[in-house]
Structures are given as C-alpha cells and as structure tokens.
Amino acid sequence: MDIYESLPIADRIRGNAYPGRGIVLGLTEDGTHAVAAYFIMGRSANSRNRIFAVRNGEVFTEPFDASKVEDPSLIIYAALRQYENRLIVTNGNQTDTVFEGLKAGKSFSESLESRCFEPDAPNFTPRISGMFTLDPTAPRYEMSILKSIDAMGTACARHTFSYPAVPGLGHFIHTYIRDGKPLPTFSGEPERVRLGSDIDAFTASLWDNLDPDNRISLYVRFVELQSGTYKERIINRNR
C-alpha cells in the first residue's frame, strides 16, 4: 500500500453507506485556492430534518421543518466561520469554541481542550474540526478529532494534525468508518484526497457519491488566497 497515495474524493466515499459527517481541507491543483468542504448525513428523522443556510458568510445548520425538531442541541450549530485569515469548519458548536479561542489568543488545539466527544452513547460521536490559515505565502491547515478512548466513554482522546497546503492535495476526516451498531469511530490520520481546480466538478463528485438515502447537505468553498474572495456551492436534499 502506498502511504502517499491520494485518491479522488469519489473513491474515498463511494459504497460507504454512512461515513457520517465529513470535512475536506486542501489546496487546488493550480495552487490558487484553499478548499473547504463539509457534509452531513442522517439516519433518524431528527438528523434528516436539516438544511445548510449561509448568513453573512457563515454557514449554519437549520431545521427544514421547525415543528419536527426533537433535540436541537447536537444538530443545530454554526458549521463554518472565519476569524481574521483563519477559516474554521467543524461538525458541531465547537466552531464557536475555536472562534472565541482564537479571539482570546489561543491556538486551534488549545481552543479545543475544553471540548470532548458528543454525549450520544453508545456511539460517542467524535467532534471533528478543521482550520485553514489563509496565508498566501505559507497556506496551511489543521484538523482535529476528539473521540472516546474506549467503548464506555471513559475519557477523551485528542488528535491534532497539521499540514502545509500542497497543490492538488487535500485531507478528509469523517466521524465514522462505516455504518454499524454502534457506529465505529473514525480511526487514524485523515485520508489523503486528490483535488482539482474546478469547484463544480469537486462538488458534484462529492455529492453524487455520498449514499443517496443518507446524504443531507453539502457546502463547498474555494477561497482565492491572494484576494480572499471565494466561490461557494451548497446542496440541500430538503430544498
């Protein structure tokens, strides 16, 4: 097995019924744009009752039908925010934790020290987070997973990965390895993915290869490193 192999995102997710929630960060093949993508999936009625909405450049999960919301605590949150030149994307309300931590002078990993995996036994869904530093001279990104150290939720294991942004290379982290009871938590280093330079091609490849029964929403942003301007794409199953 080639440890440096980078696969298209389609090859990483095709045939996997339930990778859960996923984050991709990286740099386009031409080296001009930072890539950030986030998707959510759902099996329960509560999880499926969601859409992504963009407000003032920030991305939020919102209920599609507010009358059907059962428990908003783990499904309604800001998924993507930016603080200065740092783009934050996570699978929960730790987006705000990182944002506030950066404002207070903390690093990405220091900001997450106050957080843990989600309290949804027996799955103990991990909290996955990413932050892209949009520096045109030295672009880079970090990814984190906070997960239970055992099947009982005894304590939280914290893993942080730091990468220089390399043209055509991205990293993909998701909450679960696959479907199951309980759901098996993602394990190991974020997976290497090959990135092109076309936002529409990337968005279609990602959405089209997520399981059609369980996919809910997808957001993709390509940020031009020199100017900070960006292109975005959003797909909601419920809209």
For residues 230 and 49, is the Cβ–Cβ distance under 8 A?
A: no
pLDDT digits (tens, 9 = 90+) for 154-189: 999 999 999 999 999 999 999 999 999 999 999 999
| Per-residue pLDDT band at 73 (split at 50, 70, 90) | confident
pLDDT over threshold 80, residue 78: yes
Residues 133 and 154 sit within 8 Å (Cβ to Cβ): no
Please give the angle made by the CA atoms of 206, 208 and 210, to the nearest 5 degrees.
70
Q: Which CATH number do you get for residue 182?
A: 3.60.20.20
For 69: left if phi > 0, alpha if psi spans -120 to 50, otherwise beta; the answer is beta
**Residue 11 resides in a domain:** yes
Q: Which of 22-36, 38-52, 174-188, 221-235 has the lowest mean pLDDT?
A: 38-52
pLDDT of residue 147: 98
The torsion angle over the Cα atoms of residues 200, 93, 130 and 5, rounded to 10 degrees, is -70
Does residue 169 fall inside a structural domain?
Answer: yes
For residue 17, CA distances in Å to 42, 212, 213, 234 come to: 11, 9, 8, 21
Which residues, in sequence order, are bridge partners of residue 217?
40, 236
Q: Is residue 179 part of a domain?
A: yes
**Which tokens hold the place of 138?**
């030295």
Residue 197 in any domain: the answer is yes
Residue 104 lies in a domain: yes
Domain-located, residue 1: no
| Domain enclosing residue 11, as ranges | 7-236
DSSP secondary structure, 98-132, as one string: HHHHHHTT--HHHHGGG--S-S-TTT-PPEEEEEE
Residue 45's pLDDT is 84
Ramachandran area for residue 22 (φ above 0: left; ψ -120 to 50: alpha; else beta): beta
| Nearest-5° Cα angle at 115, 236 to 13 | 40
The tens digit of pLDDT for each residue in 84-121 reads 999 999 999 999 999 999 999 999 999 999 999 999 99
pLDDT tops 80 at residue 71: no
Number of domains comprising the chain: 1
The CB-based long-range contact list for 78-84 (8 Å cut-off, 24+ gap) reads 79/38, 79/52, 79/219, 80/36, 80/38, 80/219, 80/221, 82/57, 82/58
Is residue 2 situated within a structural domain? Answer: no
